Structure 1
Amino acid sequence: MRVPQFARLSAALLALASTTLLGCGRDSTAPDAPFDAGGTNADVEAVAASFEAPAMESYAAMSAEIGAAVGGSAAAAVRSHPTAAIAGGKPGALRYAASLGRNYEAGRVRPSFSAAPIPAEYAGTTFAYDVATGGYVASDLTGAPESGVRFLLYAVNPVSGVPDEPLSQVGHADITASETSTTSNVRVVVVSGGETYLDYAVDATESSSAVTVAVTGFATNGSDRANFDLDNRVTGSLASLDVVVDYLLTVPTRGNFRIEMEAGTEDIFSQSPTTTLGLTARGEHGTVGINGSM
């Protein structure tokens, strides 16, 4: 039986909470009430569930096809879309950071391009999925942002990730972008039924030896909402890539429950990367934290 992603995240946090409480006792900054592992677990589930909506699932499944259509820094931002995995502690955060490393590796994919991030001939264009080619094509439909592009989103097969036939639209994703010689800013807004389910911006800045990538925004399933502020610094090359992350997730619908994480990994794609970690989950049900290295 397939285990839902949020269930795996819940089990991971309970294990983290138990280890921390047994090893260190209750955090000195925790509320007066005893730490409630079940309540904190439910808060973490709410973070993960905020990313679960049909339009977001479609956007995630179609990100490769959307990226192929837009290219450049916009494609990197599409591939860097946040998911529920970032709420799963070190494993999920580092997997996400590793994906950013692939997208924005210093010396390979830079935020500066000779062409505009969205070619002028595509500005204001709505792209629709073409079953015959298995990709997106420009259409005559209206509604796209004047200086950006729109991609229609469809119900997808949960196994293959391919749109079901006949096509059934579940929303759309609007993408706008701007660039200078050393920076890029890309914003993606995923909408369904007039409601915004995912709204995030990716700001990438290049220096001589690193790329700094900041991903900020929110995701909602219509009930819970997770705000995220994900700072990433990538140095090196795929042969030896180092990543430093500083993540903050808050859930205003859960009493501003928050997960804070700072981690650094050297040679992240090697068989034995070196990682340092500081993680704190804090809310109405208490505080749990862990610090260490491996």
Structure 2
Amino acid sequence: MWDPVTDAYVASSDSGAPPNGERFMLYALSQRTGLPSLPLTSIGYVDLIDSSAGAVGVTLVGTPATGPPATYARYCVARGTASVTSLVGFVTDGTTRLELRVRTDSTAPGTLSVQTAIAVAGRDVQLSEAVTVSPAGGDTARMTTDLRVTSGGETVRATGDVTVDTTTRIGSGRMTVSVNDGAFATLTLGGPDLVVAAEAGVTLTTADETTLRALFSTSFELFGTVRVLFTPVPLSRASPPVDERALVSPEES
């Protein structure tokens, strides 16, 4: 439970926690401090369960004031051989359920590779992304991405190569987008704005440009979200290459 005196979680005598794990209560947050607001208002809990050697089960349950409890996430994070870590399970907002399979590996010092596969339950939508983050000298990191979204027989693919200053969070690079293997557009990061350019023979509408900008952001934000899901088990025995917060939606220079 949360102790407002020490601003930290402390052990309690409350019942309900799993016998082979721990339960962390979740509370409504204060917009001013970012900490649980007072008086404490419980909105759910997270159970961390010791499933087996090197594996942790995670269950997120919401407990609204009106209505029954609802499970919003259940997955298992497990260490494999060497520096491999995997995640299998689901997350949901109560309406849309995403089935997740993620594999991470650190093949070289300071380098992290993440492969994510997502299927939207009950819908013809699949998403996959391969990301590699590596040092680029000094306070900079290089992030290469390969994002694919398939639905209704069409596949949109976005491949990016961006360098980010992890101190200023300013990035530069480009992303190329294709539809069913046909060149569609290029997005360039590095000026006063993210520049969207149509490929030869393609005419972009305002809606197309909005979607492309969202696709660019999604590629980075998905990586950051996956990192959060792995919090119960660190991704690598080695130190992470960079602060991943600097790689979520890098800013233009």
1:161 aligned residue: 34
TM (normalized to structure 1)?
A: 0.48
Matches within 5 A, 1:206-225: 206-207=81-82, 211-225=83-97
Please list every run of 5 or more consecutive structure 2 residues that lacks an aligned counterpart in the other structure: 64-68, 163-253
* Pairing of 1:27-176 with structure 2 (within 5 A): 128-176=1-49
Query: Which residue of the partner structure matches residue 125 of structure 2?
Result: 257
State the distance in 2 between where 1:286 and 1:202 align. 32
**What corresponds to 1:278 in structure 2?**
146
Assess if the C-alpha contact under 8 Å between 1:243 and 1:268 holds in 2: no
Task: Specify the alignment match of 1:197 in structure 2.
Answer: 72
Instruction: Report deviation, 1:148.
Output: 1.2
Counterpart-to-counterpart distance in 2, 1:158 and 1:174:
25
Give the helix-richer structure, 1 or 2: 1
Quote the offset at 1:158 in angstroms.
3.7
- The TM-score normalised by the length of structure 2 is 0.55
How far is the alpha carbon of 1:236 from its aligned partner? 4.5
Q: Match for 2:103 among 221, 227, 231?
A: 231
How far apart, CA to CA, are the structure 2 residues paired with 1:243 and 1:189?
A: 26
2:111 to 226, 242, 249: 242
Root-mean-square deviation (Å): 2.4
In structure 2, C-alpha distance between the alignment counterparts of 1:179 and 1:195, rounded to whole Å? 26
- Alignment partner, residue 170 of structure 2: none
Deviation, 1:226, is: 1.6
Count of residue pairs the alignment pairs up: 157
Give aligned-pair identity as a percent: 27
Secondary structure of the structure 2 residue equivalent to 1:138: coil
Change (3 A) 1:139 1:285: same
Q: For residues 146 and 220 of structure 1, do their structure 2 counterparts lie closer, same or farther at Cα, with a shift above 3 Å needed? A: same
For residues 115-159 of structure 1, what are the alpha-carbon distances to aligned partners after superposition, in whole Å with 9 as ceiling and x for unaligned? xxxxxxxxxxxxx11111111122121111111111111111245
Q: CA deviation at 1:257?
A: 1.1
Aligned amino acid, residue 149 of structure 2: A
Question: What CA distance in whole angstroms lies between the structure 1 residues aligned with 2:29 and 2:152?
Answer: 37
**1:174: how far off?**
0.9
> How far did 1:235 drift?
4.1
* 2:56 is the alignment partner of 1:186: yes
Deviation, 1:227, is: 1.7
Residue 50 of structure 2 is aligned with which of 163, 177, 191? 177
Q: 1:278 to 1:142 in 2, by over 3 A?
A: same
Cα distance, 1:164 vs. partner? 0.7
Q: Name the amino acid aligned to 1:242.
A: T
> Residue 164 and residue 201 in structure 1: after superposition, are their counterparts in 2 closer, same or farther (change >3 A)?
same
Distance 1:259 1:276 in 2: 17
Segments ≥4 residues shifted beyond 4 Å: 268-272
Q: Contact between 1:213 and 1:231, CA under 8 Å: does it hold in 2?
A: yes
* Distance in 2 between residues matched to 1:174 and 1:147, nearest whole Å: 10
CA distance in 2, matches of 1:151, 1:134: 14
Give unmatched runs, 5+ long, in structure 1: 1-127
Structure of higher RCO (CA pairs closer than 8 Å, 6+ residues apart): 1
Q: Distance in 2 between matches of 1:177 and 1:218?
A: 18
More strand by share: 2
Return the offset for 1:264: 2.5
SS of residue in 2 equivalent to 1:203: strand
Specify the code of the residue in structure 1 equivalent to 2:21. Answer: G
